[in-house]
Structure 1
C-alpha cells in the first residue's frame, strides 16, 4: 500500500513539473549569439533571465519602459539593446515588481526575475545582479523571441 501511495505521489509530481508554461522561443543560433555577451558600442544591453524551475507553469510578462518585451517562462531569458539613459523594467505579476537602471552605452546589465509566492497568483521580484551571477543565470536559460 505504501509503495502504491509513493508511486502515485511521484507520478503526480512529475506531471505537475511537466506542465510548464510555453512561450515563443528564439532559434538556437540566436541563443548562441546572445550568449557571446558582446556589447554594442552605441547601445546598452540588458539580459533579463528567469532561471528557476519554481513557478514553471506560469508565464510572466515583462515590460521595458512600459512596452511589452514578451513573457518569460521557467529557464528563459530576454536580451534587449537600449539607448543609453534611464530605463525601467517591470515584471507583471500579482504585485508588479520594477527596477530602474541608468544604462551606459557599451555596457551589459543583468536582471534576475525571481519567482515568488503570491496570495492569489504568482509574484515576482526583479534584482540587478553582477556580471558573474548574471552570465551564469543566462547560460542555464534559453532565449525567447
Structure 2
C-alpha cells in the first residue's frame, strides 16, 4: 500500500508544477514566429514543447551533438542546420537519449515536437517531426527560449 501511495505521489509531482528556463525577448520571439526563410545553404529547425504532461520537467535537446537548449512547457527553439543533409536530434529521456534523424532541404523550415511521457522513475521525452502547417500553428502559441544551456550530453 505504501508503494502505491509513493508511486501516486511521484506521478502527481511529475504532472504538476511548472519548470522554467531562460527566455528570449518578446521581440526575438515575434521575429522567430515570422518563419522567415533560413540563411543561404541552411534549413530552419523549430523544436518545441507544448504537451500538458510533465510540466515540472526540463529536458535537454541536442542537434548533431550540440546543445540547442533545455526545454520547459510552452517553449520553442529555432536554429539553422546545413541543408541537404541528415541531422541527428536527441532529447534526454529516463534511461538514455531518444533520437530521431531528419533529412533537410536547403531553404525550408522544419518542425519537431518534443513530448513528455511517463516513465518508471521520472518522465521521459521523445521527438517527432510534424507538418509545417501543424508546427507553425503550435509555435505561434509558444514563446522562444534562450538556447545553449544543457545539463547533460546526448
Q: Hey, what does 1:6 align to over in structure 2?
A: none
Ranges in structure 1 where 5+ consecutive residues have no aligned partner: 1-12
Relative to the length of structure 1, the TM-score reads: 0.84
Per-residue Cα deviation, 1:75-130 (whole angstroms, up to 9, x for no partner): 00111011121111111121421111111110110001011111111111211110
Q: Could you say which residue in structure 2 is the equivalent of 1:131?
A: 132
Task: State whether structure 2 residue 79 is matched by structure 1 residue 59.
Answer: no
TM-score (normalised: structure 2)? 0.80
Larger gyration radius, structure 1 or structure 2 = 1
Task: State the 1:58 CA deviation.
Answer: 0.4
Q: CA RMSD in A?
A: 1.5
* Runs of at least 4 residues off by over 3 Å: none
Match of 2:70 in 1: 71
SS in 1 for 2:56: coil
Q: CA deviation at 1:53?
A: 2.6
Q: Distance in 1 between matches of 2:143 and 2:90?
A: 20
Deviation for aligned residue 1:63: 0.5
Matches within 5 A, 1:52-131: 52-84=51-83, 85-94=85-94, 95-131=96-132
Gaps of at least 5 residues in structure 2 are: 1-11, 147-154
Structure 2: distance between partners of 1:133 and 1:115: 18
User: Whole-Å Cα distance in 1 between the matches of residues 61 and 20 of structure 2?
Assistant: 15
